[in-house]
Chains A and B, each alone.
Chain A
Amino acid sequence: AQKITQTQPGMFVQEKEAVTLDCTYDTSDPSYGLFWYKQPSSGEMIFLIYQGSYDQQNATEGRYSLNFQKARKSANLVISASQLGDSAMYFCAMREEGQNFVFGPGTRLSVLP
């Protein structure tokens, strides 16, 4: 069974608009972390944001925020005020306690001028 699901293979957004990238996960472990990574066309993997399963507040990092809905097991990434440089693949990942990362299949975001 897929532990991380990203249902949007590709997304388009107009520059300066906000966009939400979906991520749902599957775990029975009460302690886990959720992560989002960005992979631009140059290929490197860039860490964006982290949400712990016990965190009460949604994580935010600049223009990135994580819409964490624990009961629904979803951890959507919200990018506000999209920029052309945001065009990239975005991977959602989960790390259960004592386990390694599991990555989702990714969503390709294209920001239109």
Chain B
Amino acid sequence: DAGVIQSPRHEVTEMGQEVTLRCKPISGHDYLFWYRQTMMRGLELLIYFNNNVPIDDSGMPEDRFSAKMPNASFSTLKIQPSEPRDSAVYFCASTPSGDYGYTFGSGTRLTVV
């Protein structure tokens, strides 16, 4: 099993540009989560999907952020337009139903200059 795969590993972009982060969950995992990690706020849940359906997006900071999961094997997190305060590490994680630990991807380190 390849684990949760995120791309790109690093992204540097200019303020105002659109950024798209990608995630491929582990096959068979029903849940997919997007987290953001910063020094100030730690790990924050942005949004999660169950069976490709967004369940809770209350953690999405503002309308500039959007996430989609068009099928069971792919999800995107888009920021448009990006701002310097969006600089963080963005993690995708997946889990099967039930009380299981999450498997995290390697993260995408986003820097907005």
Contacts and interface: CB of A to CB of B under 8 A. Distances in A.
The answer on A and B forming one complex is: yes
Nearest to A97: B99
B99 A44 contact: no
B99 A33 contact: yes
Nearest to B3: A44
A43 B109 contact: yes
A100 B48 contact: yes
Given A44-B104, A100-B45, A100-B56, A95 B33 contact: no
The number of chain B residues touching the other chain, given as a range, is 10 to 19
Interface in A19-58: 33, 35, 37, 43-47, 50, 52
Given A50-B101, A101-B45, A43 B89 contact: yes
B7 interface: no
B70 interface: no
Interface residues of A, number: 19
A45 B104 contact: yes
Q: Main SS of chain B's interface residues? A: strand
B107 A44 contact: yes
Given A45-B107, A97-B99, 9 more contacts: A37-B101, A43-B89, A44-B104, A45-B91, A100-B48, A100-B56, A101-B33, A104-B42, A106-B42
Interface of A: 33, 35, 37, 43-47, 50, 52, 91, 95, 97, 100-101, 103-106
26 contacts: A33-B99, A33-B101, A35-B101, A37-B101, A43-B107, A44-B104, A44-B105, A45-B91, A45-B93, A45-B102, A45-B107, A47-B101, A47-B102, A47-B104, A50-B101, A52-B99, A91-B43, A97-B99, A100-B45, A100-B48, A100-B56, A101-B102, A103-B42, A104-B42, A105-B42, A106-B42
Interface of B: 33, 42-43, 45, 48, 56, 89, 91, 93, 99, 101-107, 109
